[in-house]
Amino acid sequence: GNSPLKEPTQTKDGANQFSNLESVEPTISITVVGASGDLAKKKIFPALFALFYEDCLPKHFTIYGYARSKMTDEELREMISGTLTCRIDKRENCGDKMDQFLQRCFYNSGLYNSEENFSELDRKLKEKEVGRLANRLFYLSIPPNIFVDAVKYASSRASSASGWTRVIVEKPFGRDSDSSGELTRSFKQYLTEEQIFRIDHYLGKELVENLSVLRFSNLVFEPLWSRNYIRNVQLIFSEDFGTEGRGGYFDNYGIIRDIMQNHLLQILALFAMETPVTLDAEDIRNEKVKVLRSMRQLTLDNVIVGQYKGHTRGSKSYPAYTDDPTVPNNSLTPTFAALAIFIDNARWDGVPFLMKAGKALHTKGAEIRVQFRHVPGNLYKQNFGADLDKATNELVIRVQPDEGIYLKINNKVPGLGMRLDRSDLNLLYKARYTKEIPDAYETLLLDAIEGEHRLFIRSDELVAAWSLFTPLLKELEEKKIAPELYPYGSRGPVGAHYLAAKHNIRWGDLSDDS
């Protein structure tokens, strides 16, 4: 009730423990900073609604949008209502649930560097939190040049006085080792490591989270997971659209920073790490840091870069990257890259890990391909002709679209005689599971609410990731390496094939039976 709060004691994530609030259920205030932006509309509010719909949000919660744009609470509700969707497999009470959710969404207009505006937010949050232990989560969905101001004022003016305060930070977290280190140091003036949740939304994707389960809980895979049986691993990302609308941001980053240094490298770290002591966040992240630090420096001879050019097919014209009005005409920023990474440790010595990522390609997808070694003394050699690669087992983990896992095996074609073909042992998620797969942002928001750091990037992981890529990025930029042009909607530059061929590899996504 109205009794004065006792002196708080602080925990590591900024939680002040007030003993007289402990008897009532806590409340959580979630503030989306940059609420007027694309990501907030497209991903964050829909993910919060999906969690509410699934009864995964705490019983007492309030959501605030915060940005400079002038909006009323009603206008915010109007804006976000267009992007909320109910689970397709459970449509009960969809409209009611949306109304209930929207009634708990509010808006505060403010600058990102204003003490006064964040104090005003604090006052409004307190009105909703009254009488309960209040936890606060801030989601920074804003451009990186305003991260530090927002962290400073959110933490100094709008931290919770009674519960924990956590901050989710979007990428890009720096553009090289120095800028990333500087950002981390600035953050640490206001927050502890436990309060910072650096998001990489690929870690929240179902098939990426499943990597560890697949590997560590299946005897048929675990013993094969090394140089003894694996010939190469391929991490492939492609989009069938260009940088439309995001050229201004993209030109300062390029595909290596946008996709490889974070999303693909995180997948690689999970794929290649040693067995963690437990599933605890710190144990997993310790192993990821170790394997990241074992990666050999990247060199230009193991990298190729490309940029899409415009072309016309039939009556349709496709733009070049440099046609974007926010991109300089002479930009050398890569929209495609392929590279080979080596891990200098006992498990992976000599195994090439190939990465390929590109925009404006012929298809959209993300997958991990594991090509196994040839069977020694294969009794059926003559059935495969001279091309033993055709007989290689390949495990494909398709992250998106059509999530699935399949293993290519050699099989006898039924019937008289002995003819072999390649068949798939196929786990297609939509055929096996009826439940809709949650969006990555749902998984990650729920983890942040629960204080689970496993799928977020720790600062030393980030240091290791930037140490690997910074020298290469500097060299590409200093030497002004010109990207190989490829037509919008094609399979990318031919240089990627030469790079793979140099390591006796064929890209799995380009083979006949991919």
Ligand X SMILES: NC(=O)C1=CN([C@@H]2O[C@H](COP(=O)(O)OP(=O)(O)OC[C@H]3O[C@@H](n4cnc5c(N)ncnc54)[C@H](OP(=O)(O)O)[C@@H]3O)[C@@H](O)[C@H]2O)C=CC1
Ligand Y SMILES: O=C1O[C@H](COP(=O)(O)O)[C@@H](O)[C@H](O)[C@H]1O
The region of 166-174, 273-281, 397-405, 436-444 touching ligand X under the rule CB under 6 A is 166-174
Nearer residue to ligand X within complex by CB, 68 or 313: 68
Separation in Å, CA 141 to CA 146, 203, 236, 348: 10, 18, 27, 37
| Count of beta carbons in the 10 Å neighbourhood of residue 32 | 29
Site for ligand Y (CB under 6 A): which residue of 122, 258, 394, 442?
258
Least distance to ligand X from the beta carbon of 213, Å?
Answer: 26
Is residue 403 at the binding interface for ligand Y, with CB under 6 A as the rule?
A: no
* Subset of 79-118 contacting ligand X (CB under 6 A): 112
Helical H segments across 244-280, by residue range: 247-251, 254-255, 265-272
Is residue 122 at the binding interface for ligand Y, with CB under 6 A as the rule?
A: no
Distant-in-sequence, close-in-space partners of 279: CB < 8 Å, separation ≥ 6: 212, 454
Name the nearest CA neighbour of 133 among 163, 166, 97, 178: 163
Helix or strand (DSSP H, E) at 135 = strand 134-140
CB burial of 65-92 (b: ≥16 within 10 Å; e: otherwise) equals: bbbeeebeeeebbebbeeebebeeeeee
How many CA atoms lie less than 13 Å away from 341 in the CB half-sphere? Answer: 27
In the list ligand Y, ligand X, none, the entry touching 251 (Cβ below 5 to 8 angstroms by class) is none
Is residue 142 at the binding interface for ligand X, with CB under 6 A as the rule?
A: yes
Least distance to ligand Y from the beta carbon of 439, Å?
Answer: 9
In the list ligand X, ligand Y, none, the entry touching 258 (Cβ below 5 to 8 angstroms by class) is ligand Y
Nearer residue to ligand X within complex by CB, 216 or 241: 241
Q: How many residues bind ligand Y (CB under 6 A)?
A: 3
Is residue 37 at the binding interface for ligand X, with CB under 6 A as the rule?
A: yes
| Count of beta carbons in the 10 Å neighbourhood of residue 96 | 9
Nearer residue to ligand Y within complex by CB, 77 or 201: 201
From the candidates 263, 311, 453, 503, give the one annotated as an active-site residue.
263
CB burial of 452-463 (b: ≥16 within 10 Å; e: otherwise) equals: ebbbbbbbbbbb
CB 66 within 8 A of CB 121: yes
Site for ligand X (CB under 6 A): which residue of 34, 334, 358, 493?
34
Nearer residue to ligand X within complex by CB, 26 or 144: 144
The region of 35-43, 231-239, 320-328, 475-483 touching ligand X under the rule CB under 6 A is 35-43
Site for ligand X (CB under 6 A): which residue of 8, 17, 69, 463?
69
Is residue 141 at the binding interface for ligand X, with CB under 6 A as the rule?
A: yes
Nearer residue to ligand Y within complex by CB, 41 or 201: 201
Is residue 454 at the binding interface for ligand X, with CB under 6 A as the rule?
A: no
In the list ligand X, ligand Y, none, the entry touching 67 (Cβ below 5 to 8 angstroms by class) is ligand X
Is residue 171 at the binding interface for ligand X, with CB under 6 A as the rule?
A: yes
Is residue 144 at the binding interface for ligand X, with CB under 6 A as the rule?
A: yes
Based on DSSP, count helices (H) and strands (E) in the chain, helices before strands: 17, 20
Is residue 174 at the binding interface for ligand X, with CB under 6 A as the rule?
A: no
CB 51 within 8 A of CB 137: no
Contacts 24+ apart (CB under 8 A), 259-263: 259/357, 260/337, 260/339, 260/355, 260/357, 260/469, 261/465, 261/466, 261/468, 261/469, 262/171, 262/172, 262/173, 262/200, 262/202, 262/457, 262/465, 263/200, 263/201, 263/202, 263/237, 263/366
* Subset of 464-503 contacting ligand X (CB under 6 A): none
Q: Is 60 marked active-site?
A: no
In the list ligand X, ligand Y, none, the entry touching 60 (Cβ below 5 to 8 angstroms by class) is none
Question: Residue numbers of the site for ligand Y (CB under 6 A)?
Answer: 201, 239, 258
Question: Residue numbers of the site for ligand X (CB under 6 A)?
Answer: 34, 36-40, 67-69, 112, 141-144, 146, 170-172
Catalytic residues: 263
